[in-house]
């Protein structure tokens, strides 16, 4: 597991974890939360399923028996180079307890300009993601599945957005290891 991913997952304030509501409509918003150290966190058990080139796959077993699997990667390049980008990463999450699979979340580490979208592209496939705070999501589970399929076939994922200060940002994520990491979370959260 890369040091950047370890920092994102553990964080200095507690366990960083993507907790997402079902994205059924644009009004349904996914929440990215830092869980503080608490009895609830102590009951959760996180295990690394494996590191697959540029992607790590993990499973969280909650105290109530619920299981969540996700894969995470950090960008290979960030632009512009003269700004603080924060902790930038992308995840793909399965939450079988609520029948969610392949939910994609992009976190920029800073707030996006309100009412803007993130443009995601893989090869010749383009996707538009809505933003809320420092996160971006696709609007439907169908779009999530389509983007996952494109990520399996692609070499790089490019994300472009606009910060709340008006700075245009872009990131390149490697897709090396994506398919193997996805297979690992499929197997763990089938």
Asked whether the predicted pLDDT for residue 184 surpasses 90, the reply is: yes
- Looking up tokens 């692609």 gives 154
**pLDDT for res 6:** 72
How are beta strands 156-162 and 67-73 bridged, if at all? unpaired
**pLDDT for res 112:** 96
Q: Are 89 and 136 in contact (CB under 8 A)?
A: no
Domains belonging to the chain, first-starting first, are 3-188 (2.60.40.1880)
What region does 133 belong to: left with phi over 0, alpha with psi -120 to 50, or beta? left
**pLDDT for res 11:** 54
**pLDDT for res 153:** 97
Using one digit for the tens of pLDDT, what is the confidence trace for 40-93?
555 789 999 999 999 999 999 998 889 999 999 999 999 999 988 889 999 999
Q: How confident is the model at residue 13 (pLDDT cuts 50, 70, 90)?
A: very low
Using one digit for the tens of pLDDT, what is the confidence trace for 111-169?
999 999 999 999 999 999 999 999 999 999 999 999 999 999 999 999 999 999 999 99
**pLDDT for res 19:** 32
Around Cβ 24, how many Cβ atoms within 10 Å?
A: 10
**pLDDT for res 10:** 63
Q: Is 187 helix (H, G, I), strand (E, B) or coil?
A: helix
Q: Are 68 and 60 in contact (CB under 8 A)?
A: yes
**pLDDT for res 84:** 85
**pLDDT for res 142:** 98
Q: How is the chain classified by DSSP, letter by letter?
A: --HHHHHHHHTTTSEEEEE----SSTTS--EEEEEPSSHHHHH-EEEEEEEETTEEEEEEE-TTS-EEEEEEE--SEEESTTS---S-EEEEEEEGGGTEEEEEEEE-SSPBPTT-EEEEEETTEEEEEEEETTEEE-SSHHHHHHHHHHHHH-SEEEEEEEBTTS-EEEEEEE-TTHHHHHHHHHHHT-
Summarize the confidence of residues 90-97 as an average pLDDT.
Answer: 97
Q: Which two tokens stand for residue 177?
A: 């290891």
Q: How confident is the model at residue 7 (pLDDT cuts 50, 70, 90)?
A: low
Q: pTM score, two decimals? A: 0.81
Closest CA to 70 of 47, 89, 94: 94
**pLDDT for res 3:** 72
Summarize the confidence of residues 16-22 as an average pLDDT.
Answer: 34
């Amino acid at each position: 597991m890369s040091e950047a991913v370890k920092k994102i997952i553990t964080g200095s304030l507690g366990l960083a974890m993507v907790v997402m509501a079902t994205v059924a409509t644009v009004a349904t918003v996914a929440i990215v939360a830092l869980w503080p150290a608490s009895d609830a966190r102590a009951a959760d058990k996180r295990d690394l399923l494996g590191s697959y080139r540029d992607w790590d796959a993990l499973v969280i077993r909650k105290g109530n028996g619920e299981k969540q699997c996700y894969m995470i990667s950090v960008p290979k390049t960030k632009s512009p180079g003269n700004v603080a980008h924060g902790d930038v990463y992308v995840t793909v999450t399965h939450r079988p307890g609520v029948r969610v699979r392949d939910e994609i979340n992009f976190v920029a580490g800073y707030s996006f300009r309100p009412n803007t979208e993130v443009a995601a592209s893989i090869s010749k496939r383009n996707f538009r993601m809505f933003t809320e705070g420092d996160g971006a999501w696709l609007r439907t589970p169908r779009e999530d599945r389509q983007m996952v399929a494109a990520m399996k076939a692609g070499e790089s994922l490019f994300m472009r957005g606009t910060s709340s200060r008006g700075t245009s940002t872009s990131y390149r994520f490697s897709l090396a290891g994506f398919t193997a990491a996805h297979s690992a979370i499929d197997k763990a959260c089938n």
